[in-house]
Amino acid sequence: MPRLREADAERRLANGGPNYVEALARGLSVISAFGQERRQLSLSDVARATSLPKASVRRMLHTLITLRLADTDGRVFRLTPRVLGLAGDYLGSNKISTVVQPVCDRIAHIAGRSTWVAVLDGHDMVTVAHALPRYPMDLSPGVGVRHPAFCTAAGRAVLGTLDDGVLDRWLAELQPKAFTKYTPTNLKAIRKTILDARDKGYGETHQDMKVGDCGLAVPLRRYDGRNVGALQITGTLDDPPQKHIALLQAAAADLRQQLI
């Protein structure tokens, strides 16, 4: 492996000290470079996305191909379905996913709207359970999808549970991007949407992520009061989800003793 750059060495110490495995971190960053809008990437694409040297990326991709986690046509690389095994291990072992999926199914059936649970991961909300009306779980898209936390109802609901100091540090590292003309990108405005969610006990969005879409979400707490994610329902301007707030709050209350 090439000698670590100074920035890499500093990151290593900051993230884990002498027991931090740089090779593992690089491999995981290569996997994370792929996504819904980046399903096929060239070697150069992955290098740019990860800020890693091409030589390192080449070795990581070769290893992933050997492990059958990726494949290539000689020009571009893509992840294989085998990667789903990694997500499956998390979903199978995570109490949140297994407990909340039936709740998502029930709410989606009652409300007739997309319902999902997401957890905070850095500056994103990652979907761990999702249900659509008339669709079973295995046909329901969305599990594993990441959404920016600052402009989703679920994100605002979770961020509203953070202490002020933690929230301020989170905002200081945020680089907001506008998705519609309604997306707040000013940090003061974003902070206000989060504090509003804290005061009301639920987060909401109005066309922040997609024109015509609205979201409503309540924080999910486990038995000891610690936040573990958020339960969201998505609607439209013609049929806003606010009328379902009591349904979401009741579900969150029922889940509290089940989430350990």
- Give the C-alpha distances (Å, rounded to integers) separating 148 from 17, 58, 125, 176: 29, 30, 6, 8
pLDDT at site 223: 86
Average pLDDT of 24-33?
Answer: 83
The residues near 47 (Cβ < 8 Å, ≥ 6 apart) are: 53, 54, 57
Integer Cα distance of 196 and 210 in angstroms: 21
pLDDT, tens digit, 9 for 90 and up, residues 51-97: 899 998 999 999 999 988 889 998 899 988 777 666 655 555 555 66
Fold of 6-80: Arc Repressor Mutant, subunit A (1.10.10)
Average pLDDT over the chain, rounded to an integer: 84
* 137 pLDDT higher than 60: no
Kind and range of the H or E run holding 205: strand 203-206
Please, are residues 115 and 107 in contact by the beta-carbon 8 Å criterion? Answer: yes
Structural contact between residues 131 and 104, judged by C-beta atoms closer than 8 angstroms: yes
> Which pTM was predicted?
0.70
For the domain covering 94-255, report its CATH number: 3.30.450.40
Q: Which has the minimum average pLDDT: 6-20, 63-77, 129-143?
A: 6-20
β-sheet bridge partners, residue 71: 78
- List the chain domain ranges: 6-80, 94-255
What's the CA gap between 180 and 5, in Å, rounded? 38
Mean pLDDT of 12-24: 64
Contacts of residue 54, Cβ cutoff 8 Å, sequence gap at least 6: 43, 44, 47
Rounded (5°) CA angle 120-102-124: 15
Residue 4 DSSP symbol: P
DSSP class of residue 225? S
> Higher-confidence residue: 239 or 47?
47
Q: Give me the pLDDT at residue 200, please.
A: 95
- Region 104-130: mean pLDDT is 90
Residue 48 has pLDDT above 80, yes or no: yes
- Closest by CA position to 57, among listed 44, 70, 71: 44
- Does 195 score more than 80 pLDDT? yes
Per the model's pLDDT, the better-predicted residue between 84 and 105 turns out to be 105
Residue 104, burial from CB neighbour count under 10 angstroms (0-12, 13-18, 19+): buried
Judge contact between 178 and 207, C-beta under 8 A.
no
More confident site: 108 or 12: 108
